């Protein structure tokens, strides 16, 4: 058995590499378009999942799931989001919300598929079944995803201009990126540890696994409905709302939750609120970026937030271990990070609009 912190390093490393890879993937997308990236990502991600099904040692899970699968996800995720962003301006938040809802839909179905197959055929085939599902839908993406912008062909990378200068020459962009950084530091902690918290309060392993699907069901709604509202009331405003709502739910509901009803209720509500924050940072950043640099700008912010996504879950796991398996410290830490992110995002908005109460 591994500690909460050790297990957390696998998922946080996977998240970190996925978003850090967007630094290079975003710029390659801006130059060559999505097709080659999607094809390479499909091969790498499915290979990583299949290798995970054969893992037995901790370092093997690190390499297969934490590194290989994450690299494939980076090659797939950024081109899909950037391509979609090139087709929409006024309704960009709505479009990205609907697209991101697909990940939540997968998060509802895939844990159930894995659990059912694992019960009948074991862990290895449970993981491989997920790999086959990913292969099928990734091939559809390879055949359908395209960008509105014509690929300019081979160009100089211009790393400094694309990834460094925007943070310093555009202070509002830098502050917005800092908000996303703090948000990722806290948002994944409840997502990761609610199932184990539930087991500690009397849930069976089987029932606790369904909390992931419950969270993703809430997240699916949280990615679509607020996206529709964001195009009307402002993307910054909805992003800030999602962060503060997540913090309030975590501090006010997760910390005292001990009954089955309370934990399930929190999982559903937090799924909704975190879905807002995890989705709307993309149209928020795209809104303040030149359209020809959207891929690179999203990649730059992703690289920045990769460090907080790497540390958040393991730090929370260490807090849980130091508290003898109690989760209130990790929940408090997560809520503080979300509040910080919401405050910083509001500052970025004021820097842009000069009015904290403006709709746009």
List Cα–Cα distances, 39 to 3, 45, 157, 167, 256, in angstroms: 36, 10, 22, 31, 46
- State the pTM of this model: 0.74
Distance in angstroms (rounded) separating the CA atoms of residues 327 and 96: 33
In a domain, 150, yes or no: no
Count CB neighbours of 359 within 10 A.
9
What pLDDT is stored for residue 162 in this prediction? 62
Mean pLDDT in consecutive groups of 10 residues from the start of the chain, 360 residues:
64 75 72 82 89 83 84 82 71 69 72 82 86 88 77 59 68 86 88 87 80 81 74 82 93 89 90 85 78 70 76 83 87 93 90 66
What pLDDT is stored for residue 168 in this prediction? 67
In a domain, 124, yes or no: yes
In a domain, 56, yes or no: yes
Q: How confident is the model over 136-170, as pLDDT tens digits?
A: 988 888 888 777 766 655 556 566 666 666 666 77
In a domain, 180, yes or no: yes
Domain with 131 in it: 4-145+163-353
Counted domains in the chain: 1
In a domain, 240, yes or no: yes
CATH of the domain at 340: 1.20.1250.20
What pLDDT is stored for residue 2 in this prediction? 59
In a domain, 202, yes or no: yes
Q: How confident is the model over 197-231, as pLDDT tens digits?
A: 888 888 887 778 788 888 888 877 777 777 677 77
Q: Which long-range contacts (CB under 8 A, 24 or more apart) does 348-357 make?
A: 348/172, 348/175, 348/176, 348/178, 348/179, 348/236, 349/234, 349/236, 349/237, 349/240, 351/171, 351/172, 351/175, 352/172, 352/236, 352/288
In a domain, 247, yes or no: yes
């Amino acid at each position: 058995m591994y500690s909460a912190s050790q297990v957390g390093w696998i998922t946080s490393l996977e998240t970190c590499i996925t978003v850090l890879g967007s630094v290079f993937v975003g710029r390659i997308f801006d130059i060559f378009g999505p097709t080659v990236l999607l094809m390479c990502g499909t091969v790498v991600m499915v290979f990583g999942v299949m290798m995970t099904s054969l893992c037995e040692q901790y370092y093997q899970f690190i390499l297969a799931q934490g590194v290989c699968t994450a690299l494939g996800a980076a090659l797939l995720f950024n081109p899909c989001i950037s391509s979609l962003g090139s087709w929409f301006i006024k309704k960009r938040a709505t479009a990205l919300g609907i697209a991101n809802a697909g990940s939540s839909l997968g998060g509802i179905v895939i844990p159930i598929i894995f659990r059912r197959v694992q019960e009948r055929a074991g862990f290895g085939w449970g993981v491989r079944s997920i790999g086959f599902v990913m292969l099928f839908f990734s091939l559809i993406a390879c055949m359908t995803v395209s960008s509105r912008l014509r690929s300019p062909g081979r160009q100089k990378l211009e790393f400094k201009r694309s990834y460094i200068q925007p943070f310093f020459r555009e202070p509002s962009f830098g502050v917005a990126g800092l908000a996303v950084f703090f948000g990722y530091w806290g948002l994944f902690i409840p997502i990761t540890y609610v199932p184990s918290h539930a087991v500690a309060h009397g849930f069976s392993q089987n029932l606790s696994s369904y909390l992931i699907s419950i969270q993703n069901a809430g997240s699916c709604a949280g990615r679509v409905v607020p996206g529709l509202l964001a195009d009307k009331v402002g993307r910054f405003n909805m992003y800030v709302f999602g962060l503060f709502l997540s913090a309030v739910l975590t501090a006010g509901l997760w910390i005292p939750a001990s009954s089955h009803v309370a934990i399930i209720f929190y999982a559903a509500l937090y799924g909704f609120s975190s879905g807002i924050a995890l989705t709307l940072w993309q149209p928020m950043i795209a809104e303040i970026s030149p359209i020809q640099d959207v891929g690179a700008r999203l990649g730059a912010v992703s690289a920045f937030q990769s460090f907080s996504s790497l540390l958040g879950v393991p730090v929370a796991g260490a807090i849980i271990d130091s508290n003898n398996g109690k989760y209130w410290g990790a929940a408090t830490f997560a809520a503080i990070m979300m509040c910080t992110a919401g405050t910083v995002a509001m500052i970025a908005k004021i820097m842009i609009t000069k009015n904290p109460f403006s709709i746009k």
